[in-house]
Every structure is written in structure tokens, then in C-alpha cells.
Structure 1
Amino acid sequence: MTVKICCRTYRLRCVGANREKTGKAAIEVFNEAIANAKPIVEVKSRRVGGANYQVPVEVRPSRRLALAMRWVRDAARKRGEKSMDLRLAGELIDASEGRGGALKNVKKYTAWLKPIKHSLTSVSNFERLIKWLVRPRSACTATSVFPPISTRVKPLLQNVFCSIPV
């Protein structure tokens, strides 16, 4: 895996920098950094009935790995160290410890965006749905919501009794 991000000339320097800063093997630091940078959920725009919704979707494992490596590489390029091997080593160490530029993308990418219209993708509506689904399912009575009609015609629904099986 390290070959995909570090080319051969950077790899030896990167290993030395990782070992002297963290005391861990370079492959351990690399695996921790990639594991911390992997996104789990991303939002995609879905069009339903003329409205666009931001729907959270689980990320495929191959895409998770590709995004994590891309984010680590891009964050390393933006760092201020003198050479790319030091930038990459510093970014891998930061990502393995839970900080750094690559992890900013993870938080931003997996954040719940505000839906354009009310939908079940927002947290409050989802909580309402869960409450509605787990409500007590005993017998309930309801009265008619229709206004009274003339005396010539007998109203059909005055009181309604419904029984929902458990």
C-alpha cells in the first residue's frame, strides 16, 4: 500500500522520519492514518418529485480507500515542509494521531447537509419517524373531522373506532 502513495525515493526517507518521530513502524503509522482518513458515509443528491434531497449513502470499501489516500496526498502537498517526503511523513503521522488536513475532509464530507425540503434525512424528522413507528399500537378512537352537513343527508362518519393489531 505504501508504494501507491510514496514513490521509491520518498519511501525510504518517509520510513526514517516516521520511525524517529513516533517510535512505531512505518506500515503501522500508514495503516492507522488511512483507517482514520476513510469516510464511512457521504451525501448524494437525489431528485424525488421535483425536489432535490441530500441523502446519506454508505461509501464502497474501494472508494473509501481511494478517497483516504487522495486526501492524505492532497493534504501533504499543502503542508509547508521543505520536501515532499517530510510533508508526507508529517501528514501520515498527524492522520494516525487523529489530526491533520486529511481528517478535515472526512468531517466535511460526511456531515449531514440541510435538506432542501423536509425529508427523513434530517435528524429531527428521523427522530419523529422513529417515535411514530414505536408508538403504542392499542385500540384508538377518533372523531370525524368533517364539518356537520345539512339535516337532509345523514352524516356517514360521526365516530370512528379503529383497532390496530399488535
Structure 2
Amino acid sequence: MEQNMSRKKRYLKVIITNDIKFGSYLFSKFINYIMKNGKKQIAQKIFYYSINLITIKLKKNSFFLIKKILLNVQPIFEIKKRKIGGMNYNIPFKINLKRSLMFAMKWIVFNSKKRNENGFKNKLVGELIDSYYNNSLSIKHKENILKISEQNKAYSNFKI
């Protein structure tokens, strides 16, 4: 008798350690989203520089600022496309906190690259400050998704 062995690789979940300077899991996740090509020290320098500038400009606690910024950018819904009967529908559904944090961090990093300031550090600072005051590209992205989910609320009963 032969046993059916799965050929699928089993991956271990990577445990993310807290960041060195503040000891925060949230900050280490943000640094990982900034990081390119495995260059974590450069990403840390960029992140800590931007946090220091923000705390100086807004005169508030850095952890409180990042929490508030991420809370402003976090989406409530996610939209997935589904083809039903030859028609494509945008189906909105609620997402959990971890996934919404992921979207918020990705949008902030992505939209800061589009900005006009010189250097990524300054672009990130500008995007974070604008997100704090609710007028950044990331906030507009969130509002677009909210608008689409309101329009397609009737399709929310479809399974994905």
C-alpha cells in the first residue's frame, strides 16, 4: 500500500519582530512595506527620519500619530471582481483589521512615490502629514473604494 504524500511545499509563517528603536510591531510592519530588495537598514533610516520630522512638525507622540494616520487611511470594505452570468460585478465585502492595516500601509507607500517632493523621505513625510489631515491620495483611494462599495451594495450577497 502506498501513501499519498502531498507534493505541496509547506511554508512556515515568518515571525516579524518588533522594531529596534520604538519596540513596536506596527512600526516594523511599516518598515517592511517601505523596504526594497531586502535593504532593511535603508528603510529604517527613511522611516525614522520621516517619523522624527512629523513629530517635530505636528508636536505629538510618534506612535499616536502613526496610529491616527493608519486609522484615517484604513478601508472598511474590499472590492473583488466576480463574473456571474457573463457580467462582471464588483462585490464589496468587509475585511478584518489586519488586512485593512495592510492596505493602509501599502497605499501610503505607493501614493508617496507619486508625490512631487525631492527624495522618498520627503515624499513619505508629505503623504503622512496629508493623511493626518485627511487630504492625501491614500484617503482619496479609500473614498473611491467606499463609493464603489456603496454603488454595488446590492451584489454583496454573491459569494466570492
* TM, length-normalised to structure 2: 0.63
Query: Which region of structure 1 is more displaced relative to structure 2, 8-17 or 89-98?
Result: 8-17
Q: Is the 8 A contact 1:41 1:57 kept in 2?
A: yes
Q: Is the 8 A contact 1:17 1:86 kept in 2?
A: no
Q: 1:2 aligns with which of 27, 39, 43?
A: 27
1:24 equivalent to 2:60? Answer: yes
Structure 2 CA distance for partners of 1:50 and 1:9, relative to 1, 3 Å: closer
Cross-structure match for 1:162: none
Offset at 1:74? 0.8
Q: Is the 8 A contact 1:73 1:88 kept in 2?
A: yes
Q: 1:88 aligns with which of 105, 118, 124?
A: 124
User: Does the residue aligned with 1:99 lie in a helix, a strand or coil?
Assistant: coil
- How many residues end up aligned between the 2 structures? 119
Structure 2 CA distance, aligned partners of 1:107 and 1:16?
28
1:76 equivalent to 2:101? Answer: no
Identity of aligned residues (%): 25
User: Does the residue aligned with 1:105 lie in a helix, a strand or coil?
Assistant: helix
1:102 equivalent to 2:135? Answer: no
User: Does the residue aligned with 2:117 lie in a helix, a strand or coil?
Assistant: coil
Cross-structure match for 1:64: 100
Higher helix share: 2
Which protein is bigger by CA-based radius of gyration?
A: 1
Q: Is the 8 A contact 1:43 1:110 kept in 2?
A: no
1:35 equivalent to 2:71? Answer: yes
Offset at 1:50? 4.7
Structure 1 CA distance, aligned partners of 2:105 and 2:80?
21
Counterpart residue type for residue 4 of structure 1:
K
Aligned alpha-carbon RMSD (Å):
2.4
Structure 1 CA distance, aligned partners of 2:110 and 2:87?
34
Counterpart residue type for residue 37 of structure 1:
V
Q: Is there any run of 5+ residues in structure 2 with no aligned partner, and where?
A: 1-25, 32-42
Higher strand share: 1
Q: Is there any run of 5+ residues in structure 1 with no aligned partner, and where?
A: 123-166
Offset at 1:15? 2.5
CA offsets, 1:119-146, max 9 Å, x none? 9349xxxxxxxxxxxxxxxxxxxxxxxx
Structure 2 CA distance, aligned partners of 1:82 and 1:5?
21
